[in-house]
Structure 1
């Protein structure tokens, strides 16, 4: 096979047209309605009894649509259209039996047919590759007017576009099927994980409730206070497990509601009370009323505040400030701290799952926190940006769309 033929077969394959490995191992595909309409229109334009759309590979010719005849398969050696079609110019022959290029062809000399009039228009891609031909034929001699030839050439260009569009449609259908398959698998996985996490959490909350009942009868009221915090945090954790795992499917379920930034941060601070107390961190939050999914936003803020505490500078108590403002698109939330910061070269990378920086004194982690935050922002129709907080620490800006 020549280099040109290898390239042409690669183009055929890229257009979604079958290219056999050898011999006649290919079956004639069923024509699409659009291709069938175009080949019927070609028959009307040229006024001939038979028209066909031929794809020509290194070894054979097969027809993807025909009018006035049944599609057939033949070797390239026997094909009339394969004669000179690669030069990209149209061919019109009034009597093929009198033309030395075709007179000995089996479809002309009577072995397989007795074609006399013959016209062939190459199917040329925008890149200049010839996929095959649009041809017309008859058992009687005939002619084409210049207007008819031009009409067939226009139709040939439409056929090439139709072949490319059908290939893109097949690709899209395949991607959709894969997405649906992935969605089903992920939903099954999320269901199993949800079950495995829900059971121990439910058990913990049950024992907390029993402890609360016993503590209420005892002298140590401080224990009851601690248990109330554990119960509240545990219940929110259970809610997060169920909602975040539901989100872990393509097109996660987003339920926007009117929220108060201070109220959400207060819940998060309560959940992170032990870490805040141990690190000596301070958390300051300005209020903002905005619309977003409450569970998703709580997960986002909890991850960001936890990061600000975990990645503080040694010996420096974390100072964390959360602010928000309305924008034309929806709302913008900012979480700033005085911690180690993230270098400019790493700011894009840390938004990918399982990426950790492995800096000195960094705590262990999964590398999923910022990736989860970025995904939540994207699901809310926005984005997440990382920058420096006035040269020290980190500023994470979350842009939220009001259209979610």
Structure 2
């Protein structure tokens, strides 16, 4: 019978595109190292789903697939801890297993370390075995655990690389739709603003004139932002075009553009970022706008008067930018997920497609920086960004 744990494991395995894929030299290198360290002829990376055990890399035998019920590793999968069995014939978990009895093989020594994903799901094992009785010392056991962690690191790197390629392709396809859905209405809006500004009645309404000037300025910045984002999406993973950016001026412009939403929420937004950074101004503006808008939106949805603080400081080897809020925060288990494309975490009841933070991460990574979420001293979430310092020009 398929259990909840099986369903979770199958879902986790699907993220890595392992089943029916050709053997990878990086994984084969790890199983060879495992066999060498443990002094055994055979080592295997086993991935176990709800029906089968898939040997995705092996040394000392040809990788194969067997029924889950015949697997040695499935007997210890739920333990989530390393296992060392000097003689499997004397262990009731393994004594009747066909890999021990001779129906499939004559395993005596068996040792394994679980393969645990960053989300805490055990998807299989790195195991070693021998037809002779033997044991492992504590140092070798720890080495096997380290290699199991390395297997997960390799799988994660492959997953991230594949998802980035898919995201780049989606963004390129999305660029044409953005052009139609955003640029055309913005052009019409700009035209109406120009007509209103040219009206002879505007001279008698100074407040309206000031509001129109602000609207025209915001529309111009939005047009430049859309143009740059479209170019960025078309260029895929190409590098941004950085230059010196006054961070306080950029953040203040963003706050002005968000004035309607900020005022409607009764929010207080503080900017304390008096320094220059080396970045693509338009793209960094997109990031800051997303973060401030999210902070205001989620704090307001939590029923509090939003308080948002944008701060920056010099750090080694570059700059640290933080955006704090007093909203509901982000649970630790979701702090990586919310940066995935089209994943909104647990944001029920709040508008949005889950694209904003994924875009922010892509932009910051393209700058050679990092982005993440922690608890905020204001009681909500702190989104932090690190940017590297300007490279030396020689």
TM-score (norm. length: structure 2): 0.54
Matches of 1:14 and 1:337, distance apart in 2: 47
Unaligned segments of structure 2, at least 5 residues: 1-19, 26-56, 63-157
Instruction: Describe how 1:168-317 pairs up with structure 2 within 5 A.
Output: 187=172, 189-191=174-176, 193-214=178-199, 217-249=202-234, 250-286=236-272, 287-312=274-299, 314-317=302-305
| Residue of structure 1 aligned with 2:345, choices 340, 357, 362 | 357
Partner of residue 344 from structure 1, selected from 297, 309, 332: 332
Query: More displaced, 290-299 or 315-324?
Result: 315-324
- Pair 1:236–1:128, CA change in 2 (3 A): same
Cα–Cα, structure 1 residues 357 and 321, in superposed 2: closer, same or farther, change >3 Å? same
Asked if the contact 2:239–2:367 (Cα under 8 Å) also holds between the matched residues in 1, the reply is no
Alignment CA distance shift 1:383-1:274 (3 Å)? same
Q: Secondary structure at 2:59's aligned position in 1?
A: coil
Bigger mean CA deviation after superposition, 247-256 or 281-290: 247-256
In the alignment, the residues of structure 2 paired with residue 344 and residue 233 of structure 1 have an alpha-carbon distance, to the nearest angstrom, of 36
Decide whether aligned partners of structure 1 residues 398 and 246 sit closer, same or farther in structure 2, where only a CA change above 3 A counts: same
CA contact (8 A) 1:187 1:246 kept: no
**What is the alpha-carbon distance in structure 1 between the residues aligned to residue 341 and residue 233 of structure 2?**
13
Cα drift, residue 263 of structure 1 = 0.4
Change in 2 beyond 3 A, CA 1:366/1:213: same
CA distance in 2, matches of 1:318, 1:15: 50
Is contact 1:353-1:368 (8 Å) kept? yes
> For residues 369 and 275 of structure 2, what CA distance do their matches in structure 1 show?
17
Aligned residues: 242
SS of 1:312 mapped into structure 2: helix
* Aligned equivalents of 1:196, 1:183: Cα separation in 2: 20
Tell me, what secondary structure is at the counterpart of 2:244? strand
Cα distance in 1 for partners of 2:341, 2:168 equals 19
Hey, what does 2:59 align to over in structure 1? Answer: 127
In the TM superposition, what whole-angstrom CA distance separates every residue of 1:82-119 from its partner, at most 9, and x where no partner exists? xxxxxxxxxxxxxxxxxxxxxxxxxxxxxxxxxxxxxx
Structure 2 distance, partners of 1:320, 1:229, is 22
CA distance in 2: counterparts of 1:327 and 1:279, whole angstroms: 33
Question: Aligned-pair distance for 1:278?
Answer: 1.2
What do the CA deviations read for 1:161-197 (whole angstroms, capped 9, x no partner)?
xxxxxxxxxxx9xx99x96x99688546524632553
> What is the deviation of 1:255?
1.0
Distance 1:307 1:216, change over 3 A: same
Residue number in structure 1 paired with 2:39: none
Give 1:15 deviation, angstroms: 8.4
The structure 2 residue matched to 1:332, chosen from 313, 317, 320, is 320
Alignment deviations for residues 351-401 of structure 1 (CA, whole Å, 9 cap, x no partner): 1111123456x4211111211111111111011110001371011110112
Do the aligned residues in 2 keep the contact of 1:340 with 1:393 (CA within 8 Å)? yes
3-state SS, counterpart of residue 353 of structure 1: coil
CA apart distance, 1:252: 3.5
**Contact 2:243 2:281 (C-alpha < 8 Å) held by counterparts:** yes
Normalised TM-score (structure 1): 0.53
Report the alpha carbon displacement of residue 127 of structure 1 after superposing the two structures with TM. Answer: 3.4
Distance 1:193 1:272, change over 3 A: closer
1:126 is displaced (CA, Å) by: 9.8
Residues 310, 321 of structure 2: 8 Å contact kept: yes
Select the structure of larger CA radius of gyration. 1
Distance in 2 separating the partners of 1:233 and 1:15: 51
Equivalent in the alignment of 2:87: none
How far off is 1:317 after superposition? 1.3
Residue in structure 1 matched with residue 370 of structure 2 by the alignment:
383
Structure 1 pair 266/218, CA: closer, same or farther in 2 (3 Å)?
same
* Larger helix share, 1 or 2: 2
Q: Is the 8 A contact 2:168 2:233 kept in 1?
A: no
> Is the contact between residue 330 and residue 400 of structure 1 (CA under 8 Å) also seen in structure 2?
yes
Question: Does structure 2 retain, via aligned residues, the 8 Å contact 1:284–1:320?
Answer: yes
Q: Which runs of 5+ in 1 are unaligned?
A: 1-10, 17-124, 131-171
